[in-house]
Chains A and B, each alone.
Chain A
Amino acid sequence: MEPALDVEGLEKTYGAVRAVRGLSFQVAPGEVLGLVGPNGAGKTSTLRCLAGILPPSAGRVRVAGFDVAQAPVEAKRELAFLPDEPRFFEYLTVWEHLNFTARLYGVEDWEARGRALLEEMELTGREKSLPGELSRGMKQKLSIACGFLHQPRLILLDEPLTGLDPLGIRRMKASLRRRAEEGTALVLSSHLLPLVEELCHRLLVIAGGRAVALGSLPEIREQMAGGAGDGASLEELFVRITSAASEEARARGHEPA
């Protein structure tokens, strides 16, 4: 089966700073990949490169078979990027944002889908509100509703639960799980390790822009030398892996970006 996301040797540099260094991984349809790493590890840069917002400095990204550099429009039609700080057009209402998104992605039955999504996101009754009138959590939900409208094959989420209340978090987790079951691939970047542990099939741990571990939680435990990972929680594994990466970087004479 063709992977929903195929990344080969992805690099991103800002001047002298190498934010992402040679990342390679694949995400299959229906799979949820957790992207974790300490602050400044290169997670957001990676997601932005995958979404076609930033041009990679090297490497190749394919979304549903479309090369993001060669066929950006086709690739972007197959994905949705949900940033941690969603930005909206402040003069368009909630419903007009859905209308706008529908035209961009050619979603003909957008009204029925839009109503269902607003219901799911508990935004019913807010159709005529402007973004400036929404709380942070509601904005997050609107961003998700717009992202889900065209039923993308790949969803990139950067801290998707920011600003949501406990009920919203619960609904959001169920919603993401359901979409994965329907065949959508998800890449989820978050510092909330319990969420990652609960939702993700596999994890990609990055530090200093490099992949330091990739696999399911049991596989990563296995990878830890000498069985040091036996029975360890994701939090413990995270601390060990990223600490080891920092030590290694210092030994090489430079700090992780």
Chain B
Amino acid sequence: MSFPSAVVFLWVRTWRNRVVRQVQRLKRPRYLLGALVGLAYLYSLVGRSVFVQGTGRAVSPNARLFAELSLEVSVLGTLVTAWVLGADRPALTFTQTEVQTFFAAPVTRKALLHYKLLRGLLSAVLAALAATLFVGRFTSPRPVLFFLGAALAMGTLYLHGTAASFVRAWLVSQGRWGSAVRWAVVAGVLVAGMGTLLSTLRDYPLPENLSRPFAVREWLRDVLDAPGLRAVLWPGRALVAPAMARSWEGFLRFLPASLALLVAHYAWVLAVEVPFEDSAVAGAEARTRRREQRAARSGSIRVGRVPFVLQARGRPEVALLWKNLIARRRMGSGLVMLLSFGVLGAVFALVMGDTRLFSNSREFLGPMALMVALAMAVIGPSAFRTDLRMDLPKLELLRALPLTGRQVVGAELAASALTLGVAQWVMLLLALVLGVGADDVTLAPWSTPVVLGLLPVLPALGLAGLFVQNAAVVLLPAWIPADSERARGVEALGQRLLTLVGTLVVTFLGLLPAAVVALLVGYPLFTVMGRWAVPLAGLAAAGALCAEVALGVAVLGRAFERLDVSEEQSNEA
């Protein structure tokens, strides 16, 4: 069997086996349901309109200008990257399997190069498809033309990057003069480009009256159409033009130049080919090492103090809480993510012109702290994952521990619930001290009672959310993506959507009894105590939620004990 036919065999069988495996999975009702939901979602997202009928929508000139400019700049960025950044070695990347299989096989270097180029071009086509689905349908009235044009452009850019890496590797192999030639040419091109840009900006200064309608758009168009910048942007324009064509006539007008560029780049790659085996082997090994480090997370964990000393005597499940708190401290990103959201929100408010942060910090920070605490109750259970979701890949290890299912589930929940609860308390105490709605006569008297009422309710709500997320792990382990790996395919997409909807439904159903208890306790007390009944009603609601979770943990513990690890693993295999 020749190398090309072996490669065709490999690709065809790989795809066939993947499809067969996915179709076989559809025999299980949950995968079938997931596939149907996923397909319906994709259809609603993309629909027939993109490729069959065209969107039929008029594309806004702003969107078109923005798309053109972005594409041209990204083309130039790719060219600069190819010549300036990265290592001076051939940019052909092979996997460890490819290295072990093909490099030892009786295959010429030219054949390996063609194999890699073909793979790169196929990847470019897939990238063009994704770009069409997510960008092209908003920026082009004819997405098919956008797809064809984008595929040509991305393929050419891929060939350019490969050729540039070959040239750089060759120049480096020539010693100092090679590097000097490269940097002289790169510096010359960059200086010429910058000079042209500055001279164009001198001829077309920024309009003084920017508030005039379309002033910026018109100025930008003038600048881009100036002769100097037209020359600088020409490579990008030539590549982008077919994708941005509005009609088949326009596309066919640009096509010959694009095809000629593609063919020229292909010839260039073949002409400047350099030995790439050493760098391919080193690159494959480095990538494998990085992947292993990522999987083991050894590079990103910093060993520090433990949250508390774990005595050998005492309830054994505390060991799980201890190790999860360590995990939160050493690998935690949830809290950082939430705080980043807070900071970003404040920056956004400032950018939008809300300067109350400086003029009246207290008036601004109190409500903001309350909002963050409320937001944590909703998004916290998804962000804080040091629980069964983190330990799902180690289910076998958990099952071997001398603990009941209830102990495992309860202890796994505890670390996330504690961290989330403490974070919420900090925000609520901040809101309590600074006050919420202090400048409003109606709101001000309610501020303290409501925040006091939320002190027990929000952590309990977070706990309930965490319980639902962990229940999904135990009841539908194949539907929940494990910590470091994600199921692929349309059925996996549908399953995630169903899990999300299910989580929301279960959370709201769980809230009903707590709301009823809060009403039963709060209403009679309100007639006696007025607004100070709110904290007591909150306490009652939190108690009801915690009781529900305790009951749920007992039931879930039984399910955990019955969970057949092998069945779930064999389904995923």
Interface on A for B, CB 8 Å cutoff?
A: 14-15, 45, 48, 51-55, 72-74, 76-77, 81, 83, 87, 89-93, 96, 99-100, 102-110, 128, 130-133
The stretch of B358-366, B396-404, B472-480 in contact with A is: B396-404
- Find B296's partner among A72, A128, A132 (CB 8 Å cutoff): A132
The CA-CA distance from A15 to B401 in the complex, in Å, is 26
Residues B565 and A54 in contact, CB atoms below 8 Å apart? yes
The CA-CA distance from A133 to B330 in the complex, in Å, is 15
* Interface residues on chain B, size class: 35 or more
The CA-CA distance from A139 to B342 in the complex, in Å, is 41
Residues A90 and B296 in contact, CB atoms below 8 Å apart? yes
Main secondary structure of the interface of B (DSSP, over half): helix
Indicate with 1 or 0, residue by residue over B506-541, a CB within 8 angstroms of chain A CB atoms.
000000000000000000000000000000000000
By beta carbon, the residue of chain A nearest B314 is A103
CB of B108 within 8 Å of the partner chain: no
CB of B212 within 8 Å of the partner chain: no
Smallest CB–CB gap between A110 and chain B, Å? Answer: 5
CB of B336 within 8 Å of the partner chain: no
The CA-CA distance from A100 to B58 in the complex, in Å, is 64
| Contacts known (A104-B319, A104-B401, A130-B298); A72 close to B566, Cβ less than 8 A | no
Residues A107 and B298 in contact, CB atoms below 8 Å apart? no
- Find A89's partner among B312, B394, B403 (CB 8 Å cutoff): B394
By beta carbon, the residue of chain B nearest A156 is B400
The CA-CA distance from A107 to B330 in the complex, in Å, is 26
Residues in A whose Cβ lies below 8 Å from that of B318: 103
Residues B316 and A103 in contact, CB atoms below 8 Å apart? yes
- Find A105's partner among B297, B316, B331, B394 (CB 8 Å cutoff): B316
The stretch of B172-180, B191-199, B320-328 in contact with A is: B320-328
- Find A103's partner among B311, B331, B562, B565 (CB 8 Å cutoff): B311
Residues B402 and A90 in contact, CB atoms below 8 Å apart? no
* CB-contacts of B313-355 with A (<8 A): 313-314, 316, 318-319, 322-323, 326-327, 330-331
The CA-CA distance from A54 to B293 in the complex, in Å, is 30
Residues in B whose Cβ lies below 8 Å from that of A76: 400-402
Residues A108 and B312 in contact, CB atoms below 8 Å apart? yes
The CA-CA distance from A132 to B570 in the complex, in Å, is 26
Residues in B whose Cβ lies below 8 Å from that of A128: 303
| Contacts known (A91-B326, A131-B296); A104 close to B403, Cβ less than 8 A | yes
Residues A103 and B312 in contact, CB atoms below 8 Å apart? yes
Residues in B whose Cβ lies below 8 Å from that of A53: 396, 399-400, 565
Residues A132 and B301 in contact, CB atoms below 8 Å apart? yes
Smallest CB–CB gap between A115 and chain B, Å? Answer: 14
Residues A90 and B298 in contact, CB atoms below 8 Å apart? yes
Query: Which 10 pairs show the lowest CB-CB distances between chains A and B?
Result: A132-B298, A132-B296, A103-B319, A76-B402, A77-B402, A91-B330, A102-B312, A53-B399, A91-B327, A108-B312
By beta carbon, the residue of chain A nearest B395 is A53
The CA-CA distance from A14 to B303 in the complex, in Å, is 41
By beta carbon, the residue of chain A nearest B309 is A99
Residues B561 and A100 in contact, CB atoms below 8 Å apart? no
The CA-CA distance from A142 to B311 in the complex, in Å, is 21
CB of B310 within 8 Å of the partner chain: yes
The CA-CA distance from A96 to B330 in the complex, in Å, is 13
By beta carbon, the residue of chain B nearest A105 is B402
Smallest CB–CB gap between B8 and chain A, Å? Answer: 32
Residues in A whose Cβ lies below 8 Å from that of B293: 132
- Find A52's partner among B314, B400, B564 (CB 8 Å cutoff): B400
Residues B310 and A91 in contact, CB atoms below 8 Å apart? no
Residues B566 and A14 in contact, CB atoms below 8 Å apart? yes
Smallest CB–CB gap between A111 and chain B, Å? Answer: 9
The CA-CA distance from A87 to B295 in the complex, in Å, is 12
Name which of B299, B327, B396, B400 has the most chain A CB atoms within 10 A of its CB. Answer: B400
The CA-CA distance from A35 to B206 in the complex, in Å, is 82
CB of B306 within 8 Å of the partner chain: yes
Name which of A48, A81, A93, A132 has the most chain B CB atoms within 10 A of its CB. Answer: A132
By beta carbon, the residue of chain A nearest B405 is A72
The CA-CA distance from A132 to B291 in the complex, in Å, is 12
CB of B249 within 8 Å of the partner chain: no
- Find B316's partner among A15, A92, A106 (CB 8 Å cutoff): A106
Residues B565 and A100 in contact, CB atoms below 8 Å apart? no
Residues in A whose Cβ lies below 8 Å from that of B485: none
Residues in A whose Cβ lies below 8 Å from that of B397: 87
Smallest CB–CB gap between A10 and chain B, Å? Answer: 14
By beta carbon, the residue of chain A nearest B327 is A91
Residues in B whose Cβ lies below 8 Å from that of A89: 323, 327, 394
Residues A132 and B303 in contact, CB atoms below 8 Å apart? no
Smallest CB–CB gap between B375 and chain A, Å? Answer: 27
Residues in B whose Cβ lies below 8 Å from that of A77: 402
Residues in B whose Cβ lies below 8 Å from that of A105: 316, 402
Residues A91 and B331 in contact, CB atoms below 8 Å apart? yes
Indicate with 1 or 0, residue by residue over B540-573, a CB within 8 angstroms of chain A CB atoms.
0000000000000000000001101111001000
Residues in A whose Cβ lies below 8 Å from that of B331: 91
Residues A92 and B312 in contact, CB atoms below 8 Å apart? no
Residues in B whose Cβ lies below 8 Å from that of A131: 296, 298
Given contacts A74-B402, A76-B401, 13 further A-B contacts (CB under 8 A): A52-B400, A53-B396, A54-B566, A55-B562, A55-B564, A90-B297, A90-B298, A93-B303, A103-B319, A104-B319, A130-B303, A131-B298, A132-B299
By beta carbon, the residue of chain A nearest B386 is A91
By beta carbon, the residue of chain B nearest A69 is B561
Residues B306 and A14 in contact, CB atoms below 8 Å apart? no
* CB-contacts of B281-312 with A (<8 A): 293, 296-299, 301, 303, 306, 310-312
The CA-CA distance from A110 to B311 in the complex, in Å, is 10
- Find A96's partner among B312, B326, B403 (CB 8 Å cutoff): B326
Smallest CB–CB gap between A43 and chain B, Å? Answer: 14
